[in-house]
Amino acid sequence: MRSNAALQTYFNRAADNLDLSPSMRRLLLTAKREVQVQIPIERDSGELTTFIGYRVQHNDSRGPLKGGLRYHPQVDLDEVRALASLMTWKTAVVNIPYGGAKGGVALSPAELSTRELERVTRRFVDAIHDLFGPDTDIPAPDMGTNADMMAWIMNQYGKYHGFSPACVTGKPVDYHGIPGREEATGRGVGIVTLKLLSRLGRKIPGTRVAIQGFGNVGTHAAKYLADAECRVVAVSDAGGGLFREAGLDVLELLRYARGNGGRLAGCAAGDVISNDELLACDCDVLIPAALGGVLTAANAPAVRAAMIVEAANAPVEPEADAIFDGRGIVVVPDILANAGGVTASWFEWVQNRQHYQWGLNRVRQELDRILGEAFEQVWQLSTSRQVSLRTAAFMLGVGRVARATALGGVV
Ligand code: NAD
């Protein structure tokens, strides 16, 4: 997880390049609103438990606030604050008309029953229903939350404000959600990877890809890249990974994992490797798609990939980023690489507002276009200003938010 300090480093670097005034920097670094609420619920046992919920609404100068809702025991205001600002820059990089927000409740989902999680979710909506909605702030799933919970949010919000499917995204496809939302982050990772390869003048077929994390993002990225004839030489999950120089059969791995509780353990499709070995394996593109902070000053020198695509949020620590920069390893930053999810959330919101359904093909087409354009803009800025793709992406995002803030007027 990226700390506020690391994010501020990237923000300041972009702000220096953009010549932003100290007063504009302070405005952009401060959240518009931070809310903390108590969420008391009756447990199945009859006992009372009070959870703490947060919503940080960072910046809405470019449109309604947008960001996930996380259920995790380590959720606190500091983490939610950092993730909210990350959303502001991410929505601006892909140029969708949203600001940035994030929410969370400090709890361990595995320790609560489904009914208890439903009570927490509905009570949280009771506490903040006046602060979010289709035109103000639109939550979505994040770590520990899922599509069913988004359905509960929509339903509970509707009790106060009437039928409003656009008040939340990431809903089940058969309950005002859209096809293509679930695959969108992984697909987006695949799209920007192919764009990068062509910009670097490298051939796509046969490109060796290693992916850490075989969950939602990792599996969809693997499938997309294998379909494009890349060679997926390594994959892993929390239990370890597999390596095969000639390329792994991604569909076979998916079938195996599906029949094995989502896990790769015991699969004989390649040589067994550890997660540390995966990060240092012989490949062209390394895609960390599991956790934050996995590439550090300690293991960065061992990385052999020529390109890193940040599918997870903040997998590269700032010290590792500097090492990769020095070694000429190209890093596509998270605020561009994993923006496919929020982009598809925008499509869901647009369709909910129109009471109309596009269908999967159009969702994919629009995603390809938006991420392709965003990649091109970041690439151009990086080339013309001679800065890394990360600095260029932050410059694009921060610059757009600063301009919208100035245009909107601050007096
Ligand atoms: P997920 O829970 O579906 O999958 C996570 C995968 O990582 C699993 O295969 C798990 O086994 C693996 N993993 C867990 N701990 C690991 C470890 N210590 N070492 C190696 N692998 C480990 O999650 P996801 O939705 O695929 O998200 C992955 C990352 O992408 C997260 O950082 C998330 O914040 C980020 N992200 C996700 C989305 C989205 O739309 N799902 C959008 C933006 C960013």
pLDDT per residue as tens digits for the range 276-286: 999 999 999 99
Q: What pLDDT score does 411 carry?
A: 64
What is the DSSP annotation of 161-226?
H-S-GGGS-S--TTTT--TTTTTHHHHHHHHHHHHHHHHTT--STT-EEEEE--SHHHHHHHHHHH
Q: How far is the CA of 32 from the centre of ligand 1 (A)?
A: 29
pLDDT per residue as tens digits for the range 212-248: 999 999 999 999 999 999 999 999 999 999 999 999 9
pLDDT band at 41 (very low <50, low <70, confident <90, very high): very high
Element (DSSP H or E) covering residue 33: strand 33-42
Cα–Cα distance between 140 and 153 in angstroms, integer? 10
Q: What pLDDT score does 410 carry?
A: 74
Which of 32, 90, 102, 195 is catalytic? The answer is: 102
pLDDT band at 199 (very low <50, low <70, confident <90, very high): very high
Whether the pLDDT of residue 366 is over 90: the answer is yes
Q: Which residue has the tokens 């302070």?
A: 26
User: Average pLDDT in the 118-126 region?
Assistant: 98
Whether the pLDDT of residue 5 is over 90: the answer is no
| Joined tokens for residue 308 | 């890193």
Ligand 1 atom nearest 218 alpha carbon: 26
Contacts of the segment 361-366: beta carbons below 8 A, 24+ positions apart: 363/178, 363/179, 363/180, 363/181, 363/184, 364/180, 364/187
Q: How far is the CA of 290 from the centre of ligand 1 (A)?
A: 4
Is residue 82 lining ligand 1, measured as CB closer than 6 Å? no
Is residue 214 within 8 A of residue 234, CB to CB? The reply is no
Is residue 338 lining ligand 1, measured as CB closer than 6 Å? yes
Q: What angle do CA 309, 315, 319 make, to 5 degrees?
A: 105
pLDDT per residue as tens digits for the range 147-161: 999 999 999 999 999
Q: How far is the CA of 301 from the centre of ligand 1 (A)?
A: 24
Tell me the residue type at 79: E
Ligand 1 atom nearest 219 alpha carbon: 26
Q: What angle do CA 322, 326, 327 make, to 5 degrees?
A: 120
Q: How far is the CA of 3 from the centre of ligand 1 (A)?
A: 18
Q: Which of 66, 291, 294 to mutate to test the pocket of ligand 1 (most atoms within 8 A of CB)?
A: 291
Is residue 3 lining ligand 1, measured as CB closer than 6 Å? no
pLDDT per residue as tens digits for the range 296-352: 999 999 999 999 999 999 999 999 999 999 999 999 999 999 999 999 999 999 999
Mean pLDDT of the chain: 96
Is residue 213 lining ligand 1, measured as CB closer than 6 Å? yes
pTM reported for the whole predicted model: 0.96
pLDDT per residue as tens digits for the range 55-113: 999 999 999 999 999 999 999 999 999 999 999 999 999 999 999 999 999 999 999 99
Cα–Cα distance between 77 and 37 in angstroms, integer? 11
Known catalytic residue at 102: yes
Task: Give nearest CA residue, ligand 1 atom 14.
Answer: 238
Q: What pLDDT score does 6 carry?
A: 83
pLDDT band at 402 (very low <50, low <70, confident <90, very high): very high
Contacts of the segment 23-29: beta carbons below 8 A, 24+ positions apart: 24/402, 24/405, 24/406, 27/405, 27/410, 28/59, 28/398, 28/401, 28/402, 28/405, 29/85
Q: What is the torsion angle, in degrees rounded to the nearest 10, for the CA atoms of residue 340, residue 191, residue 178 and residue 149? A: -40
Whether the pLDDT of residue 2 is over 80: the answer is no
Whether the pLDDT of residue 118 is over 80: the answer is yes
| Joined tokens for residue 286 | 């390394």
pLDDT band at 27 (very low <50, low <70, confident <90, very high): very high
pLDDT band at 1 (very low <50, low <70, confident <90, very high): very low
Whether the pLDDT of residue 405 is over 50: the answer is yes
Q: What angle do CA 26, 27, 29 make, to 5 degrees?
A: 65
Q: How far is the CA of 216 from the centre of ligand 1 (A)?
A: 7
What is the DSSP annotation of 278-302?
HHTSS-SEEEE-S-SS-B-TTTGGG
Ligand 1 atom nearest 313 alpha carbon: 32
User: Average pLDDT in the 256-269 region?
Assistant: 95
According to DSSP H, which parts of 95-183 are helical? 114-128, 147-161
Is residue 334 lining ligand 1, measured as CB closer than 6 Å? no
Q: Which of 143, 212, 216, 224 to mutate to test the pocket of ligand 1 (most atoms within 8 A of CB)?
A: 216
Q: How far is the CA of 311 from the centre of ligand 1 (A)?
A: 9
CA distances from 98 to 141, 175, 189, 250, 350 (A): 16, 23, 21, 35, 12
Q: What pLDDT score does 13 carry?
A: 96
User: Rounded to 5, what percent of the chain is helix, strand, coil?
Assistant: 50, 20, 35
Is residue 351 lining ligand 1, measured as CB closer than 6 Å? no
| Joined tokens for residue 249 | 């059969």
Q: What pLDDT score does 3 carry?
A: 65
Ligand 1 atom nearest 292 alpha carbon: 32
Q: Which of 217, 275, 338 to mutate to test the pocket of ligand 1 (most atoms within 8 A of CB)?
A: 217
| Joined tokens for residue 210 | 């290693």
Is residue 212 lining ligand 1, measured as CB closer than 6 Å? yes
Q: pLDDT exceeding 70 applies to what percent of the chain?
A: 99
Is residue 401 within 8 A of residue 62, CB to CB? The reply is yes
Is residue 236 lining ligand 1, measured as CB closer than 6 Å? yes
Among the listed residues 334, 345, 278, the one whose alpha carbon sits nearest the alpha carbon of residue 1? 334
